[in-house]
Amino acid sequence: MMTLKELAEKEDLLTAGHGLCAGCAIFPILKVVLRASQYPMVVSNDTGCLQMTTSHFPRTSWKLNWIHSAYGNSAAIVSGIEAMYRSLKKQGKFPLEKELKFLAIAGDGAANDAGLGPLSGAVERGHHFVYLCLDNQMYASTGGQRSSATPMGAAAPDTPASDALPGKMQARKNIARIMTAHKIPYVAQSAPWIWQDLYKKAERAFETPGPAYLNILSPCPFEWKTPTRKTIELTRLAADTCIWPVYEVKNGTKLTINYKPRQKLPVTRWLQSQPRFKHLEQSENKWIVDKIQEEVDKDWDYLLSAETEPKHRDN
């Protein structure tokens, strides 16, 4: 098991001096993920907060090869880079002994919405890469609008809560299940509070031959309007309420739940922690809270029933 000290001693490939907001989960997540590859990596960054705050010309926060081109295509870009790597290696134009890893990074907007086609295409083709989705459940860089990963009941600037409409009325797209259905070698969901799990999964993703998908909860204190010091704690609450289960699936079938809360907390604890759900406290919106609880229970029960390789409770 990697200790925090050992982790800290590894080289920082994303340096300080970036412009991410205070309390943003992206940076702590990447501190862990970027340390999990034993080989140099190339990053294809989708448009979003991370890309904008780390590549402001003439500075860069990246100490590795990095490219950004547009919104929604990071998986297609990385498939080009990875194919070129294979081609040059095959032709003897690139040292055979030298190994590189490829990482696409996108927000939930890019992964779930505009970039879902390119993502699906790239994993179907079987490129050797890791796709990291930093899921803050909305379009944060454009001001917090809803994405298809925004949970039901959340208020967003384009689905505001009013008497007529209590926030977003559609359920969140379950991208981890969508990726699992592609039967790719590795799909995992984790969060920064359980960093050893996150590290292990990132390491496994990099080592997996073929495509791997990491879905990581990444709170956005700026848009969620939560205290910056609560970021990591919130991701634990998400796991304890089963809003954000921590699990992994190998080859589309071997499912392991890596964290099972001793006591499953009600979703109201999660909803009450964020002003975007404030309107759900009104009695006429109770049906939405019930509905959210019902859906969370269903998803959790599904995972429990689908688990093929249970692990011992370690919390």
> Residue numbers of the site for other proteins (CB under 8 A)?
40, 42, 44, 51-52, 55-58, 60, 62-70, 72-73, 75-88, 90-91, 93-94, 98, 100, 117-118, 120-122, 124-125
Count of CA atoms in the C-beta half-sphere (13 A) of 232:
10
**Contact 105/50 with Cβ under 8 angstroms?**
yes
CB of 79 to other proteins, least distance (A): 5
**Contact 179/213 with Cβ under 8 angstroms?**
yes
Decide whether 127 or 276 has the Cβ nearer to other proteins. 127
CB of 34 to other proteins, least distance (A): 13
CB of 301 to other proteins, least distance (A): 34
CB of 223 to other proteins, least distance (A): 20
**Contact 220/25 with Cβ under 8 angstroms?**
yes
Decide whether 33 or 156 has the Cβ nearer to other proteins. 33
CB of 121 to other proteins, least distance (A): 3
Decide whether 82 or 197 has the Cβ nearer to other proteins. 82
Tell me the pairing of strands 41-45 and 65-68: parallel
Q: CB-based burial of residue 129 (10 Å sphere; 0-12 exposed, 13-18 middle, 19+ buried)?
A: buried
Cα-Cα-Cα-Cα dihedral of 4, 61, 218, 151, to 10°? -170
**Contact 221/227 with Cβ under 8 angstroms?**
yes
Decide whether 85 or 259 has the Cβ nearer to other proteins. 85
Decide whether 213 or 224 has the Cβ nearer to other proteins. 213
Pick the closest to residue 128 from 160, 104, 161 (CA basis): 104
Separation between Cα atoms, residue 280 and residue 232, nearest integer Å: 23
CB of 75 to other proteins, least distance (A): 8
Region of 272 please: left (phi>0), alpha (psi -120 to 50) or beta: alpha
CB of 201 to other proteins, least distance (A): 23
CB of 248 to other proteins, least distance (A): 26
Decide whether 117 or 227 has the Cβ nearer to other proteins. 117
Count of CA atoms in the C-beta half-sphere (13 A) of 214:
32
Decide whether 116 or 161 has the Cβ nearer to other proteins. 116
Separation between Cα atoms, residue 138 and residue 81, nearest integer Å: 28
DSSP bridge partners of 101 = 41
Decide whether 55 or 256 has the Cβ nearer to other proteins. 55
Kindly provide the b/e burial profile for residues 1-32, where b requires at least 16 CB atoms within 10 angstroms of the residue's own CB.
eeeeeeeeeeeebbeeebebeebbbbbbbbbb
The first and second tokens of residue 166, run together, are 């209590």
Phi, psi of 255 (to 5 degrees): -105, 130
Decide whether 49 or 205 has the Cβ nearer to other proteins. 49
